[in-house]
Amino acid sequence: MPRCDLTIEFDQGKRSFAPGDAIRGLIRVRVEADADCKALKLACAWRTHGKGNVDKGLVQETVLYEGTWQAGEDRVYPFSIAVPRGPATYHGHLVNVDWYLGVRADIPWAIDPKAEEEILVSWPEGERSPDLGPAFSAPAARRPINEAHAFVVAKVLLLLGLVGGGGLLWEAYRSLGGKNVSGAVQYGIMGLSLAGVSLGVAYLLARNVLAQRTLGPVRFEVPRQYARRGEQFAASLGFNPVAPADMTKAVLKLKCKEEAVSGGGTNATTHTHPLGEWVLAEEPRRDLAPGMGVSLAGRVLIPADAAATFASSDNRVIWSVEAEIRLAGKPDWKKEVRIAVLP
Binding site for other proteins (CB under 8 A): 13, 15-16, 49-54, 91, 93, 96, 98, 118, 120, 262, 264-267
Question: Nearest 5°: CA angle at 219, between 218 and 225?
Answer: 135
Question: Cβ–Cβ contacts within 10 Å for residue 323, how many?
Answer: 24
Q: How far apart are CA 343 and CA 341, in angstroms?
A: 7
225 or 262: CB nearest other proteins: 262
Least distance to other proteins from the beta carbon of 304, Å?
Answer: 18
9 or 231: CB nearest other proteins: 9
**What one-letter code names the amino acid at 79?**
F
Least distance to other proteins from the beta carbon of 51, Å?
Answer: 5
Q: Which of 185, 183, 190 has its CA nearest to residue 167?
A: 190
177 or 265: CB nearest other proteins: 265
Q: How are beta strands 245-262 and 269-283 bridged, if at all? A: antiparallel
68 or 272: CB nearest other proteins: 272
Least distance to other proteins from the beta carbon of 91, Å?
Answer: 4
Q: Which of 296, 295, 323, 334 has its CA nearest to residue 210?
A: 334
50 or 165: CB nearest other proteins: 50
Least distance to other proteins from the beta carbon of 113, Å?
Answer: 15
Q: How far apart are CA 59 and CA 45, in angstroms?
A: 4
Least distance to other proteins from the beta carbon of 170, Å?
Answer: 30
Cα dihedral 63/66/69/73 (nearest 10): -40
